[in-house]
Amino acid sequence: MPQFDDTELTAAVIRSFEETPDPRVKFLMEELVKSLHDFVRKTDLTFDEWGAAIDFLTRTGQKCSSTRQEFILLSDVLGVSMLVDAVNHRDRDGATETTVLGPFYVGEHKPTAHGADISADLPGERMFVQGRVTDLKGKPLAGVPVDVWHADDDGFYDSQKPSYETQGSSSRARFITDADGRFFFRTILPCSYPIPTDGPVGEMILQVRRHPMRPAHVHFLVDAPGYEPLITHVFIEGDKYLDSDVVFGVKNDLIARVEKRTDPVMPDGKPAAAPWHLMRYDFRMKPGKGTAPKPMMAATEDA
């Protein structure tokens, strides 16, 4: 009957993976166990602390449903999501920077006409958004789907509201770039908002005296054949949370000056009823492949 001291135990667990057929799985399991065991040794983890961690993870799982993914939120607030993003996008070669997908992407939509107001029924300051999708040399990419989604004037996504099931989506759409790689639409100015704090991740954030806020942004997912899918946000310059995003998702190149305008017409020549804002951003795509992500909720069912 083998007996192990705390270092030999790590070696024994690693040996237990020897027969793993997939070398990548074997490597990941070995490294995971090394890191977990190191953590326990370095911290002299007590039984109470270990129990609290198990309880926390159990409650994190129990909070997941068909509309909520508390484990991804945990990954986000611990900076793991942005680290995975960073190690997978080390060389951008001038392509637009990437950031987290977030939990509020609900998947594809039928294409919407350019110029449409995707927040027509919502209160808020009006905003005109125009963008262009090109390759790294500036050649326009036509016929490319661009998914956009953002929070409303109260800081909620449509999918967080009870009305979502009956009234459908708002502040989200898919546009297809025109022959010059361009797309444009109307919406409202999004505001900064808190991540959901009514679960174990929120408890943790408050326990360590962090705020739960994300700076105002619009999400974009650009998926051009022959190019890496681009998952990004455009942040609004001046937002007070740009330096302390709770999910560490801000990159300087993704901050746009959103100008306040009083011109009586918007860039597509149609009248503006009140002062409005203009967001302009161009997206440079990196050649490559990859599959656009599926919505985070797709694999999860209500308990």
- Residue 215 binds to Fe ion (criterion: CB under 5 A): no
Backbone angles phi, psi at 14, to 5 degrees: -65, -40
176-186 burial, b at 16+ Cβ within 10 Å, e below that, comes to: ebbeebbbbbb
Known catalytic residue at 157: yes
Interacting residues of 219 by C-beta distance below 8 A, sequence separation 6+? 101, 102, 104, 105, 147, 148, 149, 150, 232, 233
**Share of the chain residues as helix, strand and coil, in percent rounded to the nearest 5:** 25, 20, 50
For ligand BEZ, which residue of 172, 214, 251, 286 counts as binding (CB under 6 A)? 214
Choose among Fe ion, ligand BEZ, none what residue 103 binds, the Cβ cut-off being 5 to 8 Å by kind: ligand BEZ
Between 102 and 202, CB nearer to Fe ion: 102
Give the CB-nearest residue to ligand BEZ.
Answer: 102
Residue 49 CB, shortest distance to ligand BEZ, in Å, is: 26
Interacting residues of 82 by C-beta distance below 8 A, sequence separation 6+? 76, 99, 100, 247, 248, 249
For Fe ion, which residue of 68, 74, 102, 183 counts as binding (CB under 5 A)? 102
Between 195 and 236, CB nearer to ligand BEZ: 195
CA distances to 67, 119, 147 from 179, rounded to whole Å, are: 36, 26, 18
Looking at the DSSP bridge assignments, the partners of residue 150 are 218
For ligand BEZ, which residue of 30, 70, 76, 239 counts as binding (CB under 6 A)? 76
- Residue 297 binds to ligand BEZ (criterion: CB under 6 A): no
- Find the part of the chain contacting ligand BEZ (CB under 6 A) among 8-16, 98-106, 140-148, 161-169: 98-106
Among the listed residues 186, 183, 160, 146, the one whose alpha carbon sits nearest the alpha carbon of residue 102 = 160
Choose among Fe ion, ligand BEZ, none what residue 73 binds, the Cβ cut-off being 5 to 8 Å by kind: ligand BEZ
Q: Of residues 193, 227, 241, 281, which has the active-site annotation?
A: 193
Residue 113 CB, shortest distance to ligand BEZ, in Å, is: 25
Q: Of residues 217, 241, 281, 284, which has the active-site annotation?
A: 217
Positive or negative, the CA dihedral 167, 70, 241, 185 is: negative
Q: Of residues 68, 105, 126, 157, which has the active-site annotation?
A: 157
Positive or negative, the CA dihedral 66, 70, 73, 79 is: negative
Known catalytic residue at 227: no
Task: Tell me how far the alpha carbon of residue 99 is from its chain's centroid.
Answer: 6
State the DSSP H helix or E strand holding residue 33, giving kind and residue range, or none if neither: helix 23-43
Known catalytic residue at 186: no
Known catalytic residue at 241: no
- Here the tokens at position 129 are 């958004």
Known catalytic residue at 219: yes
For ligand BEZ, which residue of 118, 188, 195, 236 counts as binding (CB under 6 A)? 195
**Residues contributing to the site for Fe ion (CB under 5 A):** 102
List residues with catalytic annotation. Answer: 157, 193, 214, 217, 219
Which residues of the shown chain bind ligand BEZ in the complex (CB under 6 A)? 73, 76, 100, 102-104, 195, 214, 247
